[in-house]
Amino acid sequence: MTSPSLEQVQRALATVNDPEIRKPITELGMVDGVDVTPSGEVAVKVLLTVAGCPMKETITRDVTAAVGALPGVARVRVDLGVMSEEQRSGLQGKLRGGQAAREIPFARPDSLTKVFAVASGKGGVGKSSVTVNLAMAMAQAGHKVGVVDADIYGHSVPAMLGVADARPTQVEELIMPVPTRPLEGGTVGPSVISIGMLKPRRDQVVAWRGPMLDRALVQMLSDVFWGDLDVLLLDLPPGTGDVPMSLGQHLPNAEVIVVTTPQEAAAEVAERAGTMASMMKQRVVGVVENMSYLACPHCAEAGAPEHRIDIFGSGGGSRVAQTLTQRLGYDVPLLGEVPLDTRLREGGDAGLPIVIADPEAPAAVALARVARTIGGRGRNLAGLQLGLTPAGKF
Ligand SMILES: Nc1ncnc2c1ncn2[C@@H]1O[C@H](COP(=O)(O)OP(=O)(O)O)[C@@H](O)[C@H]1O
Ligand SMILES: [Mg+2]
Ligand SMILES: [Zn+2]
């Protein structure tokens, strides 16, 4: 068999994406040289963006697979090098496109990315669990999804997405979001940046507040190369503090999802979070009630009809939805009721959210439905962004 042409090899390489930047390595200037011998041995020199790039195994594997699939290839050798400073700043310029440093691309009027901020009145209600499951469900539906973990009190999102110990790669001033493992069928999973990743040292305790917090939030939105996202989800800290305020200033077009439990007290603080979002001119897109009930395992085992145990009371989600509808003057629906399920917690602990690990579980079904409801409304319908609050409301 004749060995492949250089052009064929180039075309195969053009199908390999850099896992962090999500663009073909050929476009990024990462392919430094290709050599094909008459006996079908192909050597590819790949330049990594930084030395010790955590993605080098993935890149090596993908290049080997793509080139190895060409007819006439007997062996593929991948040699790894590292970009020079000049090459890196060239790449940075290319990635920024026309975008000025420090500009938040999602705040541009022509942005096609839908931004959802997940808020709650208090901690422990499942805000992060909801965030990661929505992210996974939307990614599985084929959307390009980014997740910003902006919860200063407990950055649990990376662990819940299976990348607990990852540190982002940096190309000059640009930070690459951390990719999560590919989903079934090779679908690209969500990428994530956590405020915890911005600390110089992991074990460092930082009292995030005020201007510093604002800078961190802006950095996660503007210095991170998110690429063309369909959806950006933000896990906000609970309550109505500095982060929701900053976010409201920088991204008034974000839509807010309020998470609550059925409990009276939790519902009340959730209403406050929703009202605050609206004061920042953000639209509240709906309410997710979490820990709604426990399906009684004994009745299930006995084959009896479903018996729901209201561990945390009932009615909180619909109460928040009703109150916000009244206060804000537009329909704030109850998007879903997610039952208690040990598999949901286990999925979070294992870094494999329940919508992926156990898609048939009622909790997963409820979360996937929420993802479809908010994710399936078409990209960034302009009318939804204009702060539909009736004039003079505040
Ligand atoms: N529906 C649920 N069923 C069982 N465990 C849950 C459920 N929702 C959340 N949890 C668990 O409760 C804890 C708190 O959830 P988390 O998402 O971290 O809350 P928050 O981000 O609001 O503080 C986690 O251990 C999580 O796995
Ligand atoms: Mg959390
Ligand atoms: Zn029962």
Residue-range domains of the chain with CATH: 6-83 (3.30.300.130), 105-380 (3.40.50.300)
Distance between CA atoms of residues 297 and 304, nearest Å: 10
Atom of ligand 1 nearest to the CA of 291: 1
CA dihedral over 150, 341, 331, 316, signed as positive or negative: negative
Question: Is the Cβ–Cβ distance between 294 and 339 less than 8 Å?
Answer: yes
Ligand closest to 312 (CA) is 1
Ligand 1: atom nearest CA of 156 is: 18
pLDDT at 376: 64
Distance 338 CA to ligand 1 centre (A): 11
Summarised one tens digit per residue, pLDDT across range 48-77 is 988 887 788 999 999 999 999 999 999 999
- Report the SS3 class of residue 209: coil
Ligand 1 in reach of 126 Cβ (< 6 A): yes
Query: Residue 287's pLDDT is what?
Result: 97
Predicted confidence at residue 388, as pLDDT, reads: 38
Ligand 1 proximity of 210 Cβ (cutoff 6 Å): no
Residues 6+ apart with CB under 8 A from 70: 4, 8, 9, 12, 42
The per-residue pLDDT for 242 is: 86
Contact 316, 289 (CB under 8 A): yes
Distance CA 205, CA 51 (A): 28
Ligand 1 center from residue 314 Cα (angstroms)? 17
Ligand-binding annotation for 210, yes or no, is no
Q: 343-365: string of b/e by CB count within 10 Å (b at 16+)?
A: ebeebbeebbbbbbbbeebbbbb
Q: In what order do the strands lie in the sheet with 334-338?
A: 178-179, 191-194, 145-149, 231-235, 114-120, 255-260, 283-290, 334-338
- 199 close to ligand 1 (CB < 6 Angstrom): no
Distance from residue 368's CA to the centre of ligand 2 (Å): 19
List of the chain residues with pLDDT < 50: 378-394
- Which pair of structure tokens corresponds to residue 363? 């909790």
- The end-to-end CA distance of the chain, in Å, is 75
What pLDDT is attached to residue 224?
Answer: 94
pTM of the model: 0.87
Q: Whose CA is nearest to atom 11 of ligand 1?
A: 345
